[in-house]
Structure 1
């Protein structure tokens, strides 16, 4: 991070009692050692040499700061607000169609080191990893992160776990609001995925004109949902430790992921002009004073429903997706096709 953000972080840590100056190390030096490790995947022995500290000192303060980062979570990672996002309001491709969208969700894989008896559980298509579920807003702020799941776990299963947790530990979904998700999930209350069997990814849309409402919907859905892929790319581009197979106990590896997402949000809020933050890095696969809305409208996913109720609820949200797609198509045709709403290729 840039100097301004670094000294702001030191002030926050010191003023709120998360870290204290010691006889031998000031807060700034403690943070510098920690950031060198997570930002550049620097080994303990290198930090020992550069900071002229013992290996035990480096390790002790690394773990101390890792725990201190949890103190910043409530301050710099707030769940999505129950309001229209400015990035949607100000873009005619998204508004008013996605006016009830409060963010995007997706999963990403982080390399993991585990004992031999656990490797098989965590081995998936991308090797031995932990699968991390995250939600973010279009301005690259994480609003929810659930780390620690096995790399072989299905994304939808992890989402179910996030929804089943009581508040404030579970993913918050407001009544009538929704997250955009990819085809690895399903359209259901609070979540809208793209149409299956229709071109979706932006690279598939290059040089093509939408021929029907479903293609247009998928194009704009992909454009907005790609914000979370860019956020993951920025996160991994800044914190090299996330691709370094860190040799720490697994619970510590989980804490490292959470600490990096909190630091990402800190930089996005305190230094929005940061160079790495403004790079559009894609990977394959607000304001801290703003308070969340009243929880009375939060959907309770912990209540069990019958299969028929589940099916009816999903069909209702698929109908909503159709309505959004048709409204997009009508406006698109009025602007570019002289009002001809004939659909091709369905």
Structure 2
């Protein structure tokens, strides 16, 4: 993060969330040690050498800053209310690629894997198809690349549809869209009420979806492919958001030194910091880089289309009609 954002973060953690300096370690130094661990995945011993502190001091300061950062949630990850979900995003109305076709859009949803250290007896539960132990984190973001909802900590072996079911069944505050609104999701999710998925290939022929298939091939050949290209472009905001988040915080992508409990806390803390940096309005190289690109090469890097669960297909008739109407408009 930039120096201006760093200073703003230190002030915020001290004034609003109770982080205090000690006799020998300032607020700025404690936060810097925390950021070295999360941003660069440095071990506490190396951070101690860098700052001239004992490993015990580094560990204590890490958890002090982690506790303060967790409190950012109230201000920086706000689950939208039903009334807020009825509003039309201003950024959507300003983009003629998607407006008025996707007028029911309220956010993009996807899952992403985060490395985690687990006990040997639990590795089977957390082992994912990329041959590592992980969480499957479900996130929702808006067009400003801000996380608006997170379901944190599902085992890496869980399919995206199963994680969504967990969130809806377990969280009374899950932000289910109003009847005429929807999240855009990829083909690992069912096309059902509140969730608009792309057309899938069928016996009638292959229907392309990934942006790389359009970038490296002929233009859309039928309305289903035209819909899929626009849908993938719109949905890519969640991929870009995940990309910036994981690029900034290497502790999420590399070997984890923390168990499931603390890694869950790290996940939420870094997501809150992601939103803090974005909302701060200071220039940020990582956000600036992805904002230059509206599409990504492949929008399904973490998911397996082939094992989509077919539950809840019966209530997908309305969304199938919505999808057909958008395709006809396009």
TM over 0.5: yes
8 Å Cα contact 2:209-2:228 kept in structure 1? yes
Q: Which runs of 4+ in 1 moved over 4 A?
A: none
d(CA) in 1 for partners of 2:200, 2:110: 17
d(CA) in 1 for partners of 2:267, 2:255: 12
8 Å Cα contact 1:234-1:279 kept in structure 2? no
d(CA) in 1 for partners of 2:289, 2:233: 16
Shift of residue 94 of structure 1?
0.3
Shift of residue 172 of structure 1?
4.1
5+ unaligned residues in a row in structure 2: which ranges?
Answer: 202-206, 303-310
d(CA) in 1 for partners of 2:11, 2:59: 22
Shift of residue 214 of structure 1?
0.8
- The question of 1:322 aligning with 2:324 is answered yes
5+ unaligned residues in a row in structure 1: which ranges?
Answer: 286-306, 329-346
d(CA) in 2 for partners of 1:212, 1:146: 36
Partner of 1:63: 63
- The question of 1:155 aligning with 2:183 is answered no
Partner of 2:232: 222
Shift of residue 145 of structure 1?
1.3
1:48-105 C-alpha deviation (Å, 9 max, x unpaired): 1111222111111211222222210120112244221222111111001111111100
Q: Secondary structure at the match of 2:21?
A: coil
8 Å Cα contact 1:132-1:147 kept in structure 2? yes
> TM-score with structure 2 length normalisation?
0.87
d(CA) in 2 for partners of 1:223, 1:9: 33
Partner of 1:130: 135
Shift of residue 25 of structure 1?
1.9
d(CA) in 1 for partners of 2:10, 2:152: 26
Compute the RMSD of aligned alpha carbons: 1.7
Q: Secondary structure at the match of 2:53?
A: coil
Work out which of the residue numbers 179, 203, 206 in structure 1 matches 2:212.
203
Shift of residue 29 of structure 1?
1.2
* Structure 2 counterparts to residues 78-97 of structure 1, below 5 A: 78-80=78-80, 81-82=84-85, 83-97=87-101
Shift of residue 211 of structure 1?
2.3
Change (3 A) 1:24 1:174: farther
* Structure 2 counterparts to residues 108-187 of structure 1, below 5 A: 108-126=112-130, 127-168=132-173, 170-187=174-191
8 Å Cα contact 1:79-1:172 kept in structure 2? no
d(CA) in 1 for partners of 2:255, 2:79: 29
Shift of residue 175 of structure 1?
3.4
Shift of residue 229 of structure 1?
0.8
Look at both structures and tell me which one has the larger radius of gyration over its CA atoms. 1
d(CA) in 1 for partners of 2:195, 2:266: 28
Q: How many residues align?
A: 304
Change (3 A) 1:35 1:184: same
Partner of 1:268: 278
> TM-score with structure 1 length normalisation?
0.84
- The question of 1:259 aligning with 2:269 is answered yes
1:302-330 C-alpha deviation (Å, 9 max, x unpaired): xxxxx9xx5553112211111111111xx
